[in-house]
A and B are shown apart, each in its own frame.
Chain A
Amino acid sequence: MAADARRYFDNAATSYPKPEPVYAALDRWARDWGATAGRAAHPAAVAGSRLLFDLRRELAALVGGDADRVVLTKSATEALNLALFSLAAPGDVVAHGPLEHNAVMRPLTHLAAARGVRLVEAPGDGHGRVTPDAFARFVEAQRPDVFVTLHASNVHGLAQDAGALGDICRKRAVWFVLDAAQTGGCLPLDAAAMGVDALCLAGHKGLLGPTGIGALVLSARAAENTRPLIHGGTGSVSEKETMPDFLPDALEAGTPNTFGAAGLLAGVRYLAERTVADAAQCEAELRGRLLERLRPIPGLRIFGDDPGPAVAVVSVAAAMAPSDLAHLLDERYGVAVRAGLHCAPRAHRFLGTAPAGTVRFAPGLFTPAKVIDEVVDALAEILRSPS
């Protein structure tokens, strides 16, 4: 049985449904081409190479990057690992925010143990956002070498002022790594203007592609300081048993994910035509309606209820365990939400919701507004009549 797309409120994990051109592109690629890109001169292989080239170029245009410095990865997690393992040198001070996902905290914890990197947490406001003024003072005091943080929280959806944070990093020569897993395709991004050295993107969330593909968009100076996480064939400099020293090949060992690229390119083209600004407006309206309907529910704690920039992600907690609430939403009403820690235990500790976590509602671009009302009514009914 297929998932109920109308009541799928787990778009912060993976967007669903996708725009129709994404499904068509995946099918077309599998049937018509399907060859390995960059490894031969026959038409199918060249089609694969063109696909990756077009994806780099059009993704770069969407997020303010340079196509020559777009590295395709399997996920935002891999992009973050590539950035952090490249830019954090032994003994460096690496700063992060209070809300980071484990895609940031786990590589940082490893780097602390393996390279002696010292981790410092920048202060957050009441919602955990790192504000520019507080960050400027923090940078002055801590002198970090690298700052990594999320653009928007995957727990409550609120966004940080990445441009202002990037400006401080640029002035202080701090590497700025931005985890844009939740905001790529959902909020306007301009990596160059925002002073981002390493923009880390998930292909399967707001960018509307399939799972298994992400991207790392590097600044010129960061591109000079990268090193591969894995080593292997690239289709270039094959006479050598060492990795090429140029992008993107240096960071893309192994057969590229052309299926993922085909779907992601279709998602990027959909967003380019619709415009990210329009998608952001849609997200804001969904979020606004969700918050408006949630506020009157007695005994409900809402996280992220703030008028600042945000994506359509809201968490709640009630007297009932989040996992039970999520189960009843699914069982009684066919509503798909995510309960628990959302791979962000640090964020939940900050918000006071660890260890049980919250129930997260994440509608998407194709969620009808009236379904927001139905889902909130379902939540209210469960809380009124839990058994």
Chain B
Amino acid sequence: MTACALVFRSVHDVLKAEARTKERGFATRLIPVPKQINPDCGLALQVACGDLAAVEGLLADMRERLQGAYRLDGAAFTPLEPAL
């Protein structure tokens, strides 16, 4: 399974996204974010890349809170064009 990640502007937002996706049965989890992407709390929402479009649809009302979508290649985050 290829993993992707969504990075949000705040801890509250990433926890909200995690709660909402888990409630809908997505296998999401919190992971650290490299400091070059976000110098702050360093939490992102890991999502199976195959679920990314569905998760972005579920979180459409959080568009303004999303800072970026990434593909995980080991420890590296490769930017994706977010659909949100």
A225: Cβ under 8 A from any B Cβ: no
B12: Cβ under 8 A from any A Cβ: yes
| B39 neighbours in A (Cβ, 8 Å) | 238-239
Q: Is the CB of B33 within 8 A of A41?
A: yes
The interface bits of chain A over 237-276 (1 if a CB of B lies within 8 angstroms of the residue's CB, else 0) are 1110000101011000000000000000000000000000
B22: Cβ under 8 A from any A Cβ: no
Q: Is the CB of B65 within 8 A of A235?
A: no
Q: Is the CB of A46 within 8 A of B30?
A: yes
Q: Is the CB of B9 within 8 A of A246?
A: yes
> Once bound together, how far apart are the Cα atoms of A246 and B66, in whole Å?
13
Q: Is the CB of A235 within 8 A of B11?
A: yes
Q: Is the CB of A246 within 8 A of B10?
A: yes
Q: Is the CB of B12 within 8 A of A56?
A: yes
Instruction: Determine the interface band of chain B, counting residues with CB < 8 A from chain A.
Output: 10 to 19
Nearest-neighbor residue (CB-CB) of B10 within chain A: A236
Give the total number of A-B pairs whose CB atoms are below 8 A apart.
54
| B16 neighbours in A (Cβ, 8 Å) | 53, 67-68
B43: Cβ under 8 A from any A Cβ: yes
Which of A40, A49, A57, A67 has the most chain B CB within a 10 Å cutoff?
A49
| Shortest distance from the beta carbon of A353 to any chain B beta carbon, whole Å | 45
Which of A40, A53, A56 has the most chain B CB within a 10 Å cutoff?
A53
Q: Is the CB of A46 within 8 A of B43?
A: yes
Q: Of A38, A57, A67, which one neighbours B11 at CB under 8 angstroms?
A: A38
Nearest-neighbor residue (CB-CB) of B8 within chain A: A236
CB contact list, A300-332 vs B, under 8 A: none
Q: Is the CB of A49 within 8 A of B40?
A: no
Nearest-neighbor residue (CB-CB) of A50 within chain B: B15
> Once bound together, how far apart are the Cα atoms of A182 and B69, in whole Å?
45
> Once bound together, how far apart are the Cα atoms of A246 and B12, in whole Å?
11
> Once bound together, how far apart are the Cα atoms of A50 and B10, in whole Å?
13
Q: Is the CB of B32 within 8 A of A41?
A: yes
| Shortest distance from the beta carbon of A26 to any chain B beta carbon, whole Å | 22
Given A53-B15, A67-B16, A68-B16, do A41 and B10 touch, yes or no (CB 8 Å)?
no
B58: Cβ under 8 A from any A Cβ: no
Q: Which secondary structure characterizes the binding site on chain B?
A: mixed
| A52 neighbours in B (Cβ, 8 Å) | 12
| B15 neighbours in A (Cβ, 8 Å) | 49-50, 53
> Once bound together, how far apart are the Cα atoms of A180 and B53, in whole Å?
43
Q: Is the CB of A236 within 8 A of B9?
A: yes
Q: Of A49, A244, A246, which one neighbours B43 at CB under 8 angstroms?
A: A49
CB contact list, A194-237 vs B, under 8 A: 235-237
> Once bound together, how far apart are the Cα atoms of A381 and B18, in whole Å?
61
| B9 neighbours in A (Cβ, 8 Å) | 236-237, 244, 246
Q: Is the CB of A40 within 8 A of B10?
A: no
B42: Cβ under 8 A from any A Cβ: yes
Q: Is the CB of A235 within 8 A of B40?
A: yes
| Shortest distance from the beta carbon of B45 to any chain A beta carbon, whole Å | 12
| A237 neighbours in B (Cβ, 8 Å) | 9, 40
Given A46-B30, A236-B9, A246-B10, do A41 and B19 touch, yes or no (CB 8 Å)?
no
Given A41-B32, A56-B12, do A236 and B41 touch, yes or no (CB 8 Å)?
yes
A37: Cβ under 8 A from any B Cβ: yes
| A50 neighbours in B (Cβ, 8 Å) | 15
| Shortest distance from the beta carbon of B23 to any chain A beta carbon, whole Å | 12
Q: List 21 A-B contacts (CB under 8 A).
A: A38-B41, A39-B41, A40-B42, A41-B32, A41-B33, A41-B43, A46-B43, A49-B11, A52-B12, A53-B15, A56-B12, A67-B16, A68-B16, A235-B11, A235-B40, A235-B41, A236-B11, A236-B40, A239-B39, A244-B10, A248-B12
Q: A57-B19, A68-B16, A238-B39 are in contact. List 4 more A-B contacts (CB 8 A).
A: A38-B11, A46-B30, A237-B9, A249-B12
Spell out B's residues near A (CB within 8 Å).
9-12, 15-16, 19, 30-33, 39-43, 65
